[in-house]
Structure 1
Amino acid sequence: MSNLDEYGGGPGPSADVLVVTTNEVPGYRVDRVIGEVFGLTVRSRHLGTQIGASFKSMLGGELKGLTKTLVESRNQAMERLIEQARARGGNAVLMMRFDVTEAADLGTEICAYGTAVVISPLAG
């Protein structure tokens, strides 16, 4: 796993479902709006990571263990979002967003959501 994969993510360019944070995709038209889709994951806190983060927070700096956990969680939520769009017949998700909240002090809830659509290239 490269540093890029450890601290970032998202679907690769060859994914069959395009995910964008915009309202539209340049060069494409929306043929059909399917509706809202989301992918959700809830992660509990790992005791070792929490202890390490507590010590690190006293000294300052990035909490790399927590960063990696959040990246993994966001990627899993994104994968589930894509699965939902694909299962409903979509080939794109527009206006994708993440929502992150605490889940009853037991962990972190990560939700990726957006609008599933069917798009096709503009004739040109």
Structure 2
Amino acid sequence: MDIEDFGGGPSAEAEVLVVTTDDVPGRRVARVVGEVFGLTVRSRNLGSQIGSGIKSMFGGELRGLSKTLAETRAQAVERLIEQARARGANAVLAMRYEVSTADFGTEVCAYGTAVVLVDADS
């Protein structure tokens, strides 16, 4: 598996900038659009659960589950970006993740504040 399998965040071609900070150097907030979020729920795969159960007895990273979580987070961010774009924003500030697990699977929510950014000189 490649390191990209475990990465995160939107692609470089994304039309909406997503940052975990409250501001962006050289840019100012022209308009606050409001809260946006992307939510996804993934069910647990029986095969990976059995494999991870066995591996957990011996220690080490559960790479299959790590990859699934990275994919789940990426999907949540994609949905966050779609919502921001649909509401006319070009950036999401203070993006965070919330993750919860239950017997049926894992829920990941990416959320933040959608804004319209402009150059600071404008």
Counterparts of 1:15-54 in structure 2, within 5 Å, are: 15-54=14-53
**Which residue in the other structure is 2:69 paired with?**
70
**Which whole-Å deviations, capped at 9, do the CAs of 1:25-44 have from their partners, x for residues lacking one?**
00000000011000000000
Shift of 1:123: 1.8
Shift of 1:13: 2.2
Gaps of 5+ in 2: none
Shift of 1:14: 2.4
Q: Whole-Å Cα distance in 2 between the matches of residues 78 and 14 of structure 1? A: 14
Q: Secondary structure at the match of 2:48?
A: helix
Q: Secondary structure at the match of 1:99?
A: strand
**Which residue in the other structure is 1:82 paired with?**
81
Shift of 1:96: 0.1
**Which whole-Å deviations, capped at 9, do the CAs of 1:62-120 have from their partners, x for residues lacking one?**
000000100110000000000000000000000000000014x1000000000000001
* Cα RMSD (Å): 1.2
AA partner of residue 87 (structure 1)? A
TM-score for both structures, normalised by structure 2: 0.96
Shift of 1:3: 1.4
Q: Whole-Å Cα distance in 2 between the matches of residues 10 and 23 of structure 1? A: 17
Query: Which residue among 101, 108, 114 is the counterpart of 2:106?
Result: 108
Q: Whole-Å Cα distance in 1 between the matches of residues 84 and 3 of structure 2? A: 26
Shift of 1:4: 2.4
Misfit runs of 4+, over 3 Å: none
Percent identity of the aligned residues? 66
